[in-house]
Amino acid sequence: MSETTETAVGAEVWPYPIRYGQVKRHESDVVVLGGGIAGVWAAIGAARQGAKVVLAEKTVTARSGAGGAGVDHWQWAADNPCSRVGPEELAQALIDNQGGYRNGISTYIQCASAYQALLEMEQMGGKVRDVDDEFKGAPFRDEASKLLFAYDYDARFVLRVWGSNYKLLLRKECRRLGVKIIDRISVTGLLTRDGRPGSQVIGATGVNTRTGEFNLFKARAVIMCMSRPQRNWTFSSELRGITTFRPPTNVGNGHAMAWRAGAEFTMMEKSMRSPFASPYSYPSYGVGNAINTWFACNIVDANGKEVPWVDCNGEVISNFDDRYRPAEGQKFFIMGGGSSSHPHPGLKEYAGPKLIPDLAERMQNGEFTPPFYADLTSMPDHERRVIWGLNVGEEGKTRVPVLQTYSQAGFDPEQDMLQTYDFLRGSGMREPVSPQERTFGEQGVCGGLVVDWDLMSTLPGLFGAGDLIYGSQDHSHAAATGRYVGRRAAIFADGQQDEHCDDGQIADEMTRVYAPLGNGEGNGGGMDWKELNAALCRVMQNYCAEPKNAELLDLAEMWLDDIAETEVPKLVADNPHKLMRALDVLDILTCDQMIVHACKARKASSTHLHFNRLDYPELDPPVWHKWITIRRDGDQVAVGEMPIAPWGDFESNYQSRL
């Protein structure tokens, strides 16, 4: 097809040249798919190992992904010199706190090397210490190193960092190392040896989101860093300002394409009720709360009465400083601030201080009067400045919309309080929501790609890092696993032969990718991507929400298959941007199908997986304490399992791969 400029597309004038069907080829030792936090670190890791690296990113690498706008908490850096807990003990605690359903391999890599990654960040120009002595003398500061800590000030394994410019610095480092960054490529599929699913992965395909040009990436090793599924139960681009916690362009493309290629997945049955899925929620960390970024802010009621805090034993904390210390008899705590009303099934052993759990009842009884407020004015000076300054200033999605906007509007943390919308159906950070308001990948650890100690999937040549791999989360995790996998993939690539990409597989993918362009009115077309996304959400809300049983899940499967057969052919796109959106929703459909298959396969309920099977009501029976795996095998789904801790010894496995 020919190149045009200022093309009239439908009723619109498209400002970029249209190049549908034209093919651009790229060749490298390692190709990184997704230029978020894990992606840029993976590219750096592979380039430092001497590999020729290409990185393809759907949006713009400078700020893309969940961590593109910033990070304020550098989690679980047990390798930092002030940590009172070692990597092995912390990794095991994090796993135990999730009932075993957390990835031991990547969690150990995180605990053992997050601080090393941070030191590299510092060499790239990132601020990781309080060099300006803004918080001199504060209880969360180590005076010798000037490092700042969060949550548990005794244990000191979570650092406070100035991460709002880290992504820019990482991109600069990629460029310095010669990584070829190609922005605005939505990767659509994986190329396999001989074009067969289940064989070695030797490349990928993608479309340019401005021109529609087809891009072909041939490589000896492929690293997927495309985050996780979102928009499976709810999606609204109209009802609220921030439609998903992570960027709405993270939809699980990596999950869908690896599924089509025959890779194995696990934990796909986990989904949870979450305010992040509510169309009525406010921007995260933008309203009064006492969680994460705002830990451990005073919360007061409409009359200025302070809401008490309790420790893991339920004892009221009378001394303010004790909100940042483990309780009597507790060695350390993990996070804190959690919820007054939204129970998390974590272990009491590691529970952090939180607001009284019976606040709702005590409000009903008249003891507290809504609305409630986050009261920075009554906080110690260093705590107020670190929340409204460092944390809100460096956290993802808050620097401009919250700190800057509120400050310009006159908000003064020394005088003003910020209203919370808890109990007002405003879906505060932890407010209970309806069973249908669920998320898969917006919050917590979730399902993903099965990987081994090389972070290689069950398909040779296909690696993963960051939020995309099963049972993992966090910015520092993405950095540590990206840095690690880049090295492992480069070593793998070094030993590989040159492969020929299968022409039939490429042609099939081009047909699939461009199909929505041909679905005009005459073809029964006209359904846009938002309508299809809404229809898919409705199926998941009705048949794969809180109560599950075989009958409901069969209906979910039937409806998803029906939509795939009868509605998808009507999906229409009339410019490259909408083509990307349409392809995203097709991948959401694939992710939904993966979720339903996994839900059918787990025949037991589980607290930690937020999984409620009416036909198998027993909670966490020991025989089901294992990972359920799924893999596409032709037209069938192969169900398997892994023992709950398949990773063996942490240290020897890790050390032997450095």
Ligand X SMILES: Cc1cc2nc3c(=O)[nH]c(=O)nc-3n(C[C@H](O)[C@H](O)[C@H](O)COP(=O)(O)OP(=O)(O)OC[C@H]3O[C@@H](n4cnc5c(N)ncnc54)[C@H](O)[C@@H]3O)c2cc1C
Per CB under 6 A, residues contacting ligand X are 33-39, 56-59, 64-67, 71-73, 75, 186-187, 225-227, 245-246, 249-250, 253, 284, 395-397, 466-468, 473-476, 478
Distance CA 650, CA 108 (A): 7
User: With contact defined as beta carbons under 8 Å apart, do 585 and 529 qualify?
Assistant: yes
- Which residues are within 8 A (CB) of 22 and not within 5 positions of it... i.e. 6 or more apart? 1, 3, 213, 214
Cβ 595 to ligand X shortest distance, Å: 18
CB atoms within 10 A of CB 348: 10
Closer to ligand X at the Cβ: 282 or 559? 282
Q: Which of 209, 265, 188 has the alpha carbon at shortest distance from 59?
A: 209
Cβ 342 to ligand X shortest distance, Å: 18
Block residue for tokens 């005459």: 522
Cβ 225 to ligand X shortest distance, Å: 5
Cβ 74 to ligand X shortest distance, Å: 7
Cβ 468 to ligand X shortest distance, Å: 6
Closer to ligand X at the Cβ: 58 or 548? 58
- Which residues are within 8 A (CB) of 344 and not within 5 positions of it... i.e. 6 or more apart? 338
Tokens of 75: 């989690």
Cβ 62 to ligand X shortest distance, Å: 10
What is the number of the residue whose Cβ is closest to ligand X? 36
Closer to ligand X at the Cβ: 338 or 368? 338
Closer to ligand X at the Cβ: 432 or 441? 441
Closer to ligand X at the Cβ: 276 or 492? 276
Closer to ligand X at the Cβ: 31 or 307? 31
From residue 236, alpha-carbon distances to 169, 250, 281, 377, 648 in Å are 33, 15, 11, 35, 43
Closer to ligand X at the Cβ: 162 or 543? 162
Closer to ligand X at the Cβ: 200 or 284? 284
Block residue for tokens 């073809």: 523
Block residue for tokens 């003891």: 367
Name the H helices within 446-528: 475-494, 503-518
DSSP line for 394-419 = HSTTTIIIIIIHHHHTT--TTT--EE
Distance CA 336, CA 417 (A): 21
Cβ 360 to ligand X shortest distance, Å: 26
- Which residues are within 8 A (CB) of 377 and not within 5 positions of it... i.e. 6 or more apart? 384, 413, 414, 415, 416, 417
Cβ 589 to ligand X shortest distance, Å: 15
